[in-house]
Amino acid sequence: MNKTSNQMLIIFGASGDLTARKLIPALFNLYKDDHLPEKFVVLGVSRSDLTDVSFRKKVVTESSYLEEDLGKEEKEYVDKFADKIFYEDLGKSYDTDYTNLAHRISDLNTKYGTENNYIYYLSTPPNIYETVAKNLHKQGLTEESNGWKRFIVEKPFGYDLKSARELNNALHQYFKENQIYRIDHYLGKETVQNLLVTRFANSIFEPLWNRNYIHHIEITNAESVGVEKRGGYYDKSGALRDMFQNHLLQIVSLVAMEPPIGDEAEEIRNEKVKALKSLRIMKDHKTIHDHTIRGQYLAAEINGEKVKGYREEEGVDPDSTTETYAAIKFFVDNWRWKDVPFYVRTAKRMPTKVTEIVIHFKSTHHQIFTDSAGITNKDNQLIIRIQPDEGILIKFGVKVPGQGFKVERTNLDFYYSSLSDTNLMTAYERLLLDAMQGDATLYARADEVEAAWEFVDPILDYWQNGEDVVTYGYSAGVWGPKNADELIDGLYMWRNPGEHLADDPGFCVIK
């Protein structure tokens, strides 16, 4: 295990939702599990009128992640964690004189022995990242001569290729690339990381992982919730920017990449970026029209409960055509994947919350057996379930007992929950710990982010400006627009978990 040096975590935008709901709870769990260094301090920074005491109350002692009835010992434990947390009010603006902030950091550093090792976590809207970097630089707080300095930025990283490039260039004026950590919380999920192990630690999979044996690849990211309280942000973003450009293309890169020569961050990221650069860019409107489907959820009743349509959500333009569903067919132009279609979809207000990758293997080329309905072409599938019920399922044919050679498809499955020691870290715990240890493997590099935008930009452009663009309505609680099935070639369909109860025992969660 890597060593975690003594350090200070300085969170900008600390008065916000992400800090209270994700970052501090993740730090608390790391503290409970003894992963924090001996000398560790959190300094929250924002414009809100808070003090050390009121900030601690807000993010620790009065937080919902703590059980209500704490015993004396547990309370002391929580108080000890809260004692590590401080707050600095920046004043009216993020673009201000950081001299006071620099003094506060220096005082805490001297008092608590954090050895000039600082992580700056930007939990603010992205338009503030450059301002904070510039002002830290002015104070010499990006200098690494006496201790390391790391700069974590949240998503979204850019709005399109141009703005992502501009942001990279802006940040590179103040931080070197190896100091910048771009969060993609999907990379912090255990099963996403397990993709690398499944592929590269098992000789039964890797030899088959190519165009000779794989028919197509399907990736689904479905959420049962709508846009909740983030309508204002989402309406300017849409599913393509919100999920596809980042989380889903990161998953695609791990599925498609070549074997890295080692497990170091740069080796893995070099291969990921090569895969992203191999995505065939859809240049003309006809191709984009034929290879993409966009949809938006409509009001419906789910289990007797009325659910709003997207246009009725708070913060959403009542005439909005922003997509809450996106399905895309594309190809990866390299030796391994020539002509293998990738089908990727993401959506809100689906029947269930699920993220999974399905590798569809080609059927055997001479088929001598059929199932009891006389059908021959059932493919083998490897299903990697990212969430929930994290695990792996292999679907393969076995002989139906008795006379003759009828084939029935059955499952071999593995669930993380069946491991005796399955205390899976949350994505934010894992990513924070990695950044504290200087491991950037699970963070996106500048060129990866730009390669992903390069693929997405023409689709965004067509969806915004194309003359024949359609946004299909789908009722909240169904698997998206019906014609998304037509994207998939041949006799294949999307695997809609939950519609396969009969041949999928235990592997479909409907909530």
List the single partner that 154 binds among ligand LXAUTJHC, ligand NDP, none, CB under 5 to 8 Å by kind. Answer: ligand NDP
Q: How far is the CB of 415 from ligand LXAUTJHC (least distance, A)?
A: 18
208 burial via Cβ count (<10 Å: 0-12, 13-18, 19+): middle
Q: Is 246 in the site for ligand NDP (CB under 6 A)?
A: no
Look at residue 182 and give its three-state secondary structure. strand
* Tokens matching residue 505: 């025992």
Binding mask 29-68 for ligand NDP (x = CB under 6 A): -----------------xxx--------------------
Q: Which of 247, 291, 360, 365 is catalytic?
A: 247
Query: How far, in whole angstroms, is CA 252 from its chain's centroid?
Result: 12
Q: Is 223 in the site for ligand LXAUTJHC (CB under 6 A)?
A: yes
List the single partner that 242 binds among ligand LXAUTJHC, ligand NDP, none, CB under 5 to 8 Å by kind. Answer: ligand LXAUTJHC
Cβ atoms of 184 and 247 within 8 Å: the answer is yes
Residue 107 is labelled as binding a ligand: no
Q: Rounded to an integer, what distance in angstroms lies between the CA atom of residue 461 and that of residue 466?
A: 7
- 176: which residues sit within 8 A by CB, 6+ positions away? none
* Tokens matching residue 64: 């919902």
List the single partner that 223 binds among ligand NDP, ligand LXAUTJHC, none, CB under 5 to 8 Å by kind. Answer: ligand LXAUTJHC
Question: Does the annotation mark 247 as catalytic?
Answer: yes
List the single partner that 6 binds among ligand LXAUTJHC, ligand NDP, none, CB under 5 to 8 Å by kind. Answer: none
Determine the straight-line distance between the first and last CA of the chain, rounded to whole angstroms.
Answer: 37
* Tokens matching residue 341: 């279609």
Binding mask 110-149 for ligand NDP (x = CB under 6 A): -------------xxxx-x---------------------
Q: Helix (H) and strand (E) counts for the chain?
A: 14, 17
Q: Rounded to an integer, what distance in angstroms lies between the CA atom of residue 507 and that of residue 394?
A: 11
List the single partner that 17 binds among ligand LXAUTJHC, ligand NDP, none, CB under 5 to 8 Å by kind. Answer: ligand NDP
Q: Can you say whether the dihedral through the CA atoms of 254, 256, 262, 267 is positive or negative?
A: negative
Q: Rounded to an integer, what distance in angstroms lies between the CA atom of residue 293 and that of residue 261?
A: 37
Nearer to ligand LXAUTJHC, 11 or 243 (CB): 243
Question: How is residue 2 annotated by DSSP?
Answer: -
Nearer to ligand LXAUTJHC, 223 or 448 (CB): 223
Q: Rounded to an integer, what distance in angstroms lies between the CA atom of residue 141 and that of residue 102?
A: 8
Q: From 8-16, 307-315, 399-407, 497-505, give the range in contact with ligand NDP by CB under 6 A.
A: 8-16
Site for ligand LXAUTJHC in 233-252 (CB under 6 A): 242-243
Q: Rounded to an integer, what distance in angstroms lies between the CA atom of residue 243 and that of residue 286?
A: 24
Q: Counting every residue, how long is the chain?
A: 511
Q: How far is the CB of 110 from ligand LXAUTJHC (least distance, A)?
A: 38
Residue 199 is labelled as binding a ligand: no
- Residue 448's φ and ψ, nearest 5 degrees, are -65, -45
Q: How far is the CB of 477 from ligand LXAUTJHC (least distance, A)?
A: 17
Q: How far is the CB of 159 from ligand NDP (least distance, A)?
A: 12
Q: Is 356 in the site for ligand LXAUTJHC (CB under 6 A)?
A: no
Q: Rounded to an integer, what distance in angstroms lies between the CA atom of residue 351 and that of residue 307?
A: 12
Helix axes 161-172 and 446-465, enclosed angle (nearest 10) = 150
Q: Which one among 35, 149, 155, 308 touches ligand NDP, defined by CB under 6 A?
A: 155
Known binding-site residue numbers for substrate:
185, 189, 223, 242, 348, 353
Known binding-site residue numbers:
47, 155, 185, 189, 223, 242, 348, 353
Residues found near ligand NDP in the complex (CB under 6 A): 13, 15-18, 46-48, 123-126, 128, 154-155
Query: Which residues does the annotation mark as catalytic?
Result: 247
